[in-house]
Structure 1
Amino acid sequence: MLREVTGIRYVTPLREGGSVPGVVEADDLGTYVVKFTGAAQGRKALIAEVVAGELARRLDLRVPDLVRFDFDPVIGLGEPDQEIQDLLKSSGGLNLGMDFLPGSLGFDPLVFGVDPVEAGRIVWFDALIGNVDRSWRNPNMLVWHKDLWLIDHGAALIWHHNWKTAHTASAKPYDAADHALARFSPDPVAAAAELAPRVTDALLTEVTALVPDEWLTDEPGFDTPDEVRRAYRELLLARAADIHERIRLAPQQEEKQPPPEWLRTWVEGKNAK
């Protein structure tokens, strides 16, 4: 089970994301980015965050720590935006928190370099989970202490929004032409040789067990939360075996250009702090 914390102070909304997560302080003295069950994407986005995030962690990719986040809407009464107030009021109880990474920088493929091996591993992982939200327009990665961290997997596992067509949707190619790391010569085939054997039924059982029953109950077509967990395991296990054969990268990536001198100096200064 994920560690559980309780919110004690609502700090601010993060308006960059469509789900409008919030920065919230908790009773363990930590600060978290909280994704709420009352957001438009609902519990499916939180399930995707847990499954994708904890699978990434077990494949040695960097993701912020995840926690079960108990949220009382009373602590957000000072928020003046009525739309956000409505979101908070509809999200009382169990939500999902991600460790806030203070001082991190949003990843920009024109500024930061990425090792081709790491790029290949991330592209393969995104193909595995069907992540449609890691393009150069919206990388959903942070640079923290000079390392690359993966965030925001709520749009992954897109097939779980319609289980009746999940197998057909899961069998489609993964288009990585616009992936934020496509310009760094990723080799997803080599990544698959390393990572795919590690995606076992036992590993996926461990990961899916972390999804709270509350978010899996009453799923149409399933009688129990464990049946839903099995469906996630079966699809991910099948994808791990051959998704590398269905990844589409652009034939040629444009030559990487160095960042302007002023920006390079600024980034190096930030990373040195």
Structure 2
Amino acid sequence: MTTKEWIKQKQMNTHILLVLLSLIMIYPVIWWIGASLKTNAELSLPNIFPSVPQWSNYVNGWTAIPGHTFTKFFTNTFVIELFSVAGTVISASLIAFGFARVKFKFSNLWFSMLLMTMMIPSQVLIIPQYVIFFKLDWINTYLPIITPHFFGGGGFFVFLLVQFIRGLPRELDESATIDGCSTFGIYWHIIMPLIKPALITVAIYCFMWTWDDFFQQLLYISSVDKFTVGLALRLFMDSQSAVEWGQMLSMSLLSIIPSVVIFFLAQKYFVEGIATTGLKG
């Protein structure tokens, strides 16, 4: 066997191994898809896919909660996502620009304190945050979920963007200053276009984490007409004496589609943002 043939054989074996491992990884999803098309009686059978697919599970599941449809719940969730992602991208990039490019007193100390907030368990903050939002009369609104995203969105996002901005040459700022550009102008016209991969990475993380943040939604939202998809799935089980698991699984399957679609559409920028964060230019 020649060296070229040996390399091709090795590559083929590697691809076969990766395909087998991929099938093992996606098996739960395949089972999930099949189970969403089954009746309750057929769920106990060992076959992955039903003998007769119950496409009506998706139609009936969409309107299974009395007086409400999942159209409302998806709309509510997307409203939260829109403001949360926009707030995080704008505020985190602005704060990161300040730490990375603007000289001010005790900047290293403040940045260290920012990093320390990443080490605080979220469970420690539950009661203080709830008391603050209760006194502001924000309970049963989206404000407790959305507002924190307009104040940096968390230390992780600021840290990620700071590392990315520090990798950009400072000569760009100096050239813009000579041309009469203000500090905010440098941020908006120079830095923001160059950190697009990192911003998309932040947006994807924020979208997925907010979408999956069931606990805060459960803690602050109590009206059914304001429920998100996650709360609606929980209500799905509570509103039926005998749960139609096929319908339940079909709605839960639909609930992950937005995150999957957004990840694959922005995968190129996501990988680029992660790969280049922290590298010096």
Fold-level match, TM-score > 0.5? no
From the CA coordinates, give the structure whose radius of gyration is larger: 2
Q: Which has the higher contact order (CA 8 A, sep 6+)?
A: 2
Greater share of helix: 2
TM-score when normalising by structure 1: 0.26
Greater share of strand: 1
